[in-house]
Amino acid sequence: MPLNRKRALRKARRKRKGAIPINPIVSFRLRLVFAILFCGLLGLMGRMASLQVIQANELETKARALQTQKIKPLGTRRSIVDRNGRLIALDEERFRLWAHPRYFNFPGDAPTYIRNPVDVAYKLSAPLSMPVSDVINLLGDRSSGVKLAEDIDHEIASKIRSLGISGLDLEAYPQRVYPRGSLFANVVGFLNQDRIPQAGLEQSLNKKLVRKEKARNLRRGADGTPLPDDLAPGVLYKDDLQLHLTLDARLQELATNALSDQVQAWNAKKGVAIVMDVTNGELLALASTPTYNPNRYWKYSPSLFREWSVQDLFEPGSTFKPINLALALEEGVINKNGTVNDPGKVVIGGWPIYNHDRRPNGVIDFSTVLQVSSNVGMVNVMRQMQPARYWDWLHRLGLDVRPQTDLPGALAGHLKGKEEFVSQPIEPAVASYGQGFSLTPLKLVQLHALIANGGHLVRPHITRGLQSQAGLSTPSKKNTYPLISPEVTEVVLRWMEAVVESGSGTGVKTPGYRIGGKTGTAEKVVNGAYQQGVKICSFVANLPIESPRYVVLVVVDEPKGEDAYGSTVAVPVAKKIIDGLLVLEQIPPSTENSGLKPAKG
């Protein structure tokens, strides 16, 4: 290579290795870049201002919609419990299983893969306890909205969820359950399949039994935890109120069993047993038979859904005689040491009236009148009272007035009009031994409570109100007013005690306890006329006599048999109830020298 060319190449290399000359930046470009960045910053600030100021409310609403869960109420009802907190009625969460075959997919399947309904049927057969063929038939060829089962409990629902099958939907709903079965059906009633109350307290106290629930919006975090801010007051409140009854499940069961056995033994039409606290009107037992199971109400006749102890009238017969004697004492037409003549027959207005055994008893005291259940003696006692005054007393006792009670469907009794009662001598005559008028068993209990508590008329009831689950309910407040003097009721109680000691009520005698009572055997009115051999047998008891606290009434309708009387049909039931009552309420034995002290209302 020529020497000059080599020198030229070395000079070029030295030139490349040297510093690169910097050309000055054009001021226009600098301003353009600055303007672009400034505009971008202004746009970002404007956008932030728009989001945080102008669109803040709209964006907050959308965010809350995503964060908020709307909790819809299931429409549950409050539980019902007895006086000791034992459950009588409650709502349990159950589930309906819906199937959507077009979405059937098993865990691990490709998201777009749709399973054959047969595959799902094999999976569901075991938890549903159904043959595979039945599940397949239910699924049919529908693509969605197929109801496979209902009344599914939590255990089975959990098994179905654990399968992880897409296309299955468990819908929760409340179901009314009655753990005691038929024991309280006559009082509580039931809900039909549409959860509409059909009878009993479920119907009469429907508004009180519906829980106060509303749809609620609850904000939650990403993990489902309720957010502490913006919680509305009471959003997590749970209505735990229960309806507390005065009834005792133990005594109710004892009374129901004793009554059912006796009704079956005598092939009777029906029966009722009532236990009342005479101081405040609380019912500890209200049993009737025949009855029904409210959990399977559709299997029974609708005629069983009514409580006949408050909805059917009957003539009380001899169980009303103590009430009449109390009225005669109060009016002063007899005195406690007096007597009455019983010739065995008396004719009133052309109508002959006999004793039940057609035998005369001669001159007897009023204690004996009750012991032998003298009809003629009672007619001669009440003839001494003016008919108008007698009718006024029956009206004051409320025979023709609906009793104030929380028992649904309670009826007023039937009493002849005053003009007819006064103008027809036979009317006060038959009323003297408990016929010619009618009342409900509940009303008869109320009137005998008046004798037991010193002359106060109490309000019979079976509810203590709504209270929290935290504790037991307290006894009802006394709600009474006086009608008869305590001195009069004290005398009548002693006469009733003689019936148990020496009369037709001896079947309830209990060693160590003083008990008063009165039996009744009345011919039944059928189609407006008395039917011979068709009877209503009853027995009422007050205890303990030295300080009365409870009234027990047993009524059995149409027992079959010639020897069907209050002493043979009703007394044995009352005996079992009284024995249980003495134990459950821990009533101490009576003392021989204890004085008679009627409980004050």
Judge if pTM exceeds 0.95: no
Same-domain status, 285 and 399 = yes
Q: What is the mean pLDDT of residues 538-565?
A: 95
Alpha carbon distance 252, 284 (integer Å): 7
Task: Note whether 435 and 565 are same-domain residues.
Answer: yes
Same domain assignment for residues 172 and 257 = no
Is 404 inside a domain boundary? yes
Q: What is the pLDDT of residues 480-502, one digit of tens each?
A: 778 999 999 999 999 999 999 99
Report the C-alpha gap between 376 and 396 in whole angstroms: 25
Instruction: Flag whether 171 is in a domain.
Output: yes
Indicate whether 413 pLDDT > 70: yes
Q: What CATH number is given to the structural domain containing 497?
A: 3.40.710.10
pLDDT tier at 600 (50, 70, 90 boundaries)? very low
| 3-class secondary-structure state, position 235 | coil
In a domain, 136, yes or no: no
Count the neighbouring beta carbons within 10 Å of the beta carbon of residue 102: 10
Let me know if residue 237 belongs to a domain: no
Query: Which range, of 244-253, 288-297, 310-319, 474-483, averages the lowest pLDDT?
Result: 474-483
Are 297 and 172 part of one and the same domain? no
| Domain membership of residue 94 as a residue range | 90-108+124-130+144-158+167-179
Residue 45 pLDDT: 84
pLDDT on residue 597: 46
Q: Which residues are catalytic?
A: 318
> Does 391 lie in the same domain as 514?
yes
Judge whether 594 lies within some domain.
no
CB 338 within 8 A of CB 368: no
- Residue 139 within any structural domain of the chain: no
**C-alpha gyration radius of the chain:** 41
Whole-number pLDDT of residue 13: 64
pLDDT band at 473 (very low <50, low <70, confident <90, very high): low
Domain-located, residue 313: yes
- Tell me if 295 is assigned to some domain: yes
Q: Is the dihedral of CA 185, 188, 189, 192 positive or negative?
A: negative
DSSP at 498? H
Does residue 154 share a domain with residue 288?
no
Same domain, 457 and 578: yes
